[in-house]
Amino acid sequence: DIQMTQSPSTLSASVGDRVTITCRASQSISSWLAWYQQKPGKAPKLLIYKASSLESGVPSRFSGSGSGTEFTLTISSLQPDDFATYYCQQYNSYSPTFGPGTKVDIK
């Protein structure tokens, strides 16, 4: 199975900050990567797919980049609604795997 790692595991930031989360795959997954946002007690929400495509309805302050084994999720100007945990997910194979998550909390 392809292993996914994320860094940092926790990130403290303020409203208005630019935030970057990194996701790495144990082998090349081309651009087959998605990002999800999860708030406590809620289901995850798809933000980005195919590494850089914005899901419909997701604010444009979210962006994704990368290919191969290294990917980033960037929030250009952090908003109060963005404090949550973010997961990457590879779907290069029919055995998808998620990263361990990055919690973005208030500084």
Partner 1 sequence: EVQLVESGGGLVQPGRSLRLSCTASGFTFGDYAMSWVRQAPGKGLEWVGFIRSKAYGGTTEYAASVKGRFTISRDDSKSIAYLQMNSLKTEDTAVYYCTRFQTTGRGGGPLDYWGQGTLVTVSS
Specify the residue, 17 or 72, whose C-beta has the smaller distance to partner 1. 72
Q: CB of residue 45 vs partner 1: minimum separation in angstroms? A: 7
- Dihedral of the alpha carbons of 88, 55, 66, 89, in degrees to the nearest 10: 20
| Interface residues toward partner 1, by CB under 8 A | 1, 34, 36, 38, 42-46, 49-50, 55, 87, 89, 91, 93-101
Cα(29)–Cα(12) distance, integer angstroms: 29
Q: Tell the smallest beta-carbon distance from residue 22 to partner 1 (Å).
A: 16
Q: How far is the CB of 50 from partner 1 (least distance, A)?
A: 8
Among 33, 9, 34, smallest CA distance to 21 is for 9
Among 47, 50, 42, 46, smallest CA distance to 60 is for 47
Shorter beta-carbon distance to partner 1: residue 21 or 89: 89
